[in-house]
Amino acid sequence: MKKTIHFYIIKEILTPLWVSLVVFTFVLLLSRVMSMAEMIFSRGIQLRQVGGLIASILPYFFVFTLPMSTLLAVLLAFLRLSHDNEITAMKTAGISLYQLMPPVLVIGVITYLITSFLAIFALPWGNKNFKDILYEIARVLKKRYNF
């Protein structure tokens, strides 16, 4: 019975987790996309290079948006469970609130590990790749406009 409830809680958490991760990342990325769109139209930068720049800054954004999304997803999941009186039904069935915590802890630890990996390995790669692409763009622009 507890296994079924744990999988149910995980399912309730994962749906808002993905949605909020996409929305938070899109909101943070939107400010950068406008300046990159300006580079495409006014400077003639290739779309491949702009895509590389976006891919390079995504680890930086995920370091912030993944924990925020996890927090929001857990809050929304338990809010929905409470609003639909499912928490009351579980308490009536003899399930305490502490027995509902293992799925939250599992998702929290997984989020922690992914965020740590991003901060330790992906973020330095992204920063280096971002600089390399910017130097390539500057080299092409220098050659094109004879600076």
Q: Please give the pLDDT value at position 42.
A: 80
The pLDDT value recorded for residue 37 is 81
Q: Give the per-residue pLDDT at 1.
A: 67
Split at pLDDT 50, 70, 90, the class of 33 is confident
**Is the pTM here over 0.85, yes or no?**
yes
In this prediction, what percent of the chain has a pLDDT beyond 90?
72
Task: Read off the pLDDT of each residue in 21-42 and give the average, rounded to a whole number.
Answer: 87
| Beta carbons of 69 and 107 less than 8 angstroms apart | no
Q: Torsion angle, CA of 92/95/98/99, rounded to 10 degrees?
A: -160
Predicted confidence (pLDDT) per residue in 95-147, tens digit: 988 999 999 999 999 999 999 999 999 999 999 999 999 899 888 888 887 76
Which DSSP letter does residue 43 get?
A: I
Count: domains in the chain: 1
Q: Which residues constitute the domain of residue 46? A: 2-145
Q: For the beta carbon of residue 31, count every other beta carbon within 10 angstroms.
A: 8
